[in-house]
Copies of this chain bind each other. A is one copy, B any other.
């Protein structure tokens, strides 16, 4: 019997697996903190995400195992005659499944959800330090028409 990848909304029980993926990343290892118990800040952020109807945290699973994650934010804007947009952030897959198409399935899942939510565009930013990620998104049809600018804020 073949086990297929399926997608569902993340639950708090998935949080440890998700943070492990965020931390097992060339940029994430510098800024995440994967320990047991998890820092409270992750739990508070998780609760803020799942209690907001315009945010969805999605996991890809193979059987019971979480092998991928992404967050989709739906935002109403006045521009484009009052069009909604979907923004993808925090896409990660388990190191052992990279290159197997899970990332592509995650993005296609987000595109489908964005259409269901009547968005006219789906967007994301990718760090210029990740050239492979840029090529990955371009292969899926995304166009790098914009510059993505950030300003870090002192706490």
- Residues on A close to B: CB < 8 A? 15, 18-19, 22, 28, 31-33, 39, 41-46, 48-49, 52, 54-55, 57, 71, 73, 75-84, 87, 89-90, 111, 114-115, 118-129, 134, 137-138, 140-155
**Complex-state Cα separation, A114 to B80, whole angstroms:** 25
Give the top 4 A-B pairs by smallest Cβ distance, nearest first: A146-B148, A45-B82, A48-B76, A41-B82
Copies of the protein in its oligomer: 2
Main secondary structure of the interface of A (DSSP, over half): mixed
Known A-B contacts A76-B55, A153-B120; A82 and B39 likewise in contact (beta carbons under 8 Å):
yes
Q: Are A147 and B148 in contact (CB under 8 A)?
A: yes
**Complex-state Cα separation, A43 to B78, whole angstroms:** 9
Given contacts A128-B147, A143-B149, 11 further A-B contacts (CB under 8 A): A15-B78, A22-B78, A33-B81, A39-B81, A45-B77, A124-B149, A126-B146, A137-B149, A143-B151, A145-B148, A146-B149
